Structure formats: structure tokens, C-alpha cells
Amino acid sequence: MPSNEQRRQAAKRKLERQMERREQQAKRRRVITIGVTIVVVVAVVIGVFYFSRSGDEPAAQQPPQPQVNIPTELAPPPARPAPLADPVSCTYRPDGQASKPVQPPANGEVTSKGTVQATIDTNQGAIPLTLDRSLAPCTVNSFISLAKQSFYDGTNCHRISTEGLQMLQCGDPTGQGSGGPGYAFDDETFPELKYGRGYLAMANSGPNTNGSQFFMVFGDAQLSPDYTVFGTISPEGLKVIDDVARAGHDGAFDSSAGGGHPNKKVTFNKITVQA
């Protein structure tokens, strides 16, 4: 049997072991607490940095667009100083590869009398047009042919210019500014021609290179009379274009032709011709 002294020594050793274990447990708790505190502080710092950076990034990626000043008055309706003969002869020449399968209009005589109503249905709204045969009968004939063959359906307007020349350019199925219908035809211009808000005109790459691309003037257009005007845009249609213009562009063409891709994308669903 152990003596009283032995029992006291055993009890003392047991108590010392218990105190040692408690001290070790207390140390572990202090280490864990410090570690958790460090993690929380680091997370807060990273979060503050991230959200401050996130607040800065959109401003860097989307710089404020300059204000677009758009005239409100329509230009006087375009008119030739002398009427064309009726009918006129039109020729549509092969010119490169068509960007989308399409047949050129038949060569031959077309009338230079009357107007035709057309509507461009876009994702931004309807743009009603009046096509005027007395201005450009061969151009109107080509536009109607392309519209009826659905050449323009699903295409995007690839360029808008908001300063100096204020216009929206469309009619290229590739969306790059270099596509066309695979044929070309002559200009139908006259020296007295001046451009203004509400005019519908053909784009070209030089004399007598008209194809499918056209532009819609919504404001100033100090151009030489080298681009065939073949109709006008309704006030309702101009409101749609004005809205697109105010959204600005990406400047993709600033170093060349001017302007850029519209920030507010314009896609043609269909062009309906009432003829």
C-alpha cells in the first residue's frame, strides 16, 4: 500500500500534468485566434482594394462620350435642277465577289418618275424611307431589288460619324465596310447637289462604284457632290438614328474615314418595299 507521502507526490504530479495540458491548450487557442484575425484583416484589405479597383475599371473602359450636337431642322428636299429623261437606261456591271448571294437587277430601261415607300425594320426601331426615282432611278431600282432579295436582312450598320460628317452607314453584310453585292453601277449625281439632315445617299469607293452600301445623313454633311442621293428619311426614322448617334462610337475609323462602330448596335431585321 502506498504511503501518504507517495500519494501526495502522485497527486502533485497529476496536478502538474493537468496544468501543463491547460497551458498548452491556452497557447493553441491564442495561436488560432491570432491566425483568424490575420486572415480577416487580409480579406478586408483585399476586398477594399478590389472594390475600389472595380469602381475605377468601368470608367477606364467606357470613357464618357462627347456630347453630340444634332440639328433639328430637315434639309430642303433634294431636287434636280432639270428632270431626267424617262425612261433611263441602267447597267449593272460585275464587280468582285458578292458578300451574300444575290442577283443583280436586269440591265435596261427603268422609269425616272414617282416615289416608292420603304421601311427599314431595325432592332432600334423602324426607319421609314421615301425612295425618289426622279433623283436616281438606277439606284432606286438596285435598292428595291436588293431589299426584295433579303440582301440587307440581318446586316449591321458598321459605321457612324458624329462630328463634321454626321451620318450612319449601312448595307455591308460583312459588317467591315468592304462588302457589296458583286456588281457596280454609275453615279447619278449633279453639281448642285448639297447634303443635309434627312438625306439618303450611296456610299462609294470612287467614281461609278455604287453597290449596296448607303448612308443616312442625320446632321451636318459638308461633302462634295460625289455621292448619289436617292431618297429621304422620315422624321420618325431620324429619331431612331439620333438616339444611336447620341450613344457615340468606338472610334474604330477615326484614323481613316472617321467615326467608328456604333456603341448602340443597329441590326436590320428586314426592309419592306411598298412597290
**How does pLDDT run across 182-227, given as a tens digit for each residue?**
999 999 999 999 999 999 999 999 999 999 999 999 999 999 999 9
Could you tell me if 233 and 241 are in contact, meaning their C-beta atoms sit under 8 angstroms apart?
yes
pLDDT band, residue 53 (cuts 50/70/90):
very low
In a domain, 17, yes or no: yes
The verdict on 156 and 263 lying in the same domain is: yes
Our count of domains for the chain comes to: 2
The verdict on 103 and 52 lying in the same domain is: no
What's residue 166's pLDDT?
97
In a domain, 142, yes or no: yes
The verdict on 139 and 217 lying in the same domain is: yes
pLDDT band, residue 40 (cuts 50/70/90):
very low
The verdict on 2 and 106 lying in the same domain is: no
In a domain, 51, yes or no: yes
In a domain, 67, yes or no: no
In a domain, 82, yes or no: no
9-30, pLDDT tens digit by residue?
Answer: 554 455 555 556 656 665 666 5
Amino acid making up residue 36: V
The verdict on 25 and 124 lying in the same domain is: no
The verdict on 26 and 134 lying in the same domain is: no
Helix segments in the chain, DSSP class H: 4-61, 137-148, 235-246
Range of the domain at 48: 1-62
Percent of the chain with pLDDT over 90: 71
In a domain, 168, yes or no: yes
Residue 31, pLDDT > 90, answer: no
Dihedral (CA of 90, 133, 217, 195) sign: positive
What's residue 111's pLDDT?
98
Residue 90, pLDDT > 70, answer: yes
How long a stretch of residues is the chain? 275
What's residue 16's pLDDT?
55
Q: How far apart are CA 260 and CA 254, in angstroms?
A: 7
The verdict on 92 and 58 lying in the same domain is: no
Q: Which residues contact 2 (CB under 8 A, 6 or more apart)?
A: 10
What's residue 258's pLDDT?
87
The verdict on 204 and 245 lying in the same domain is: yes
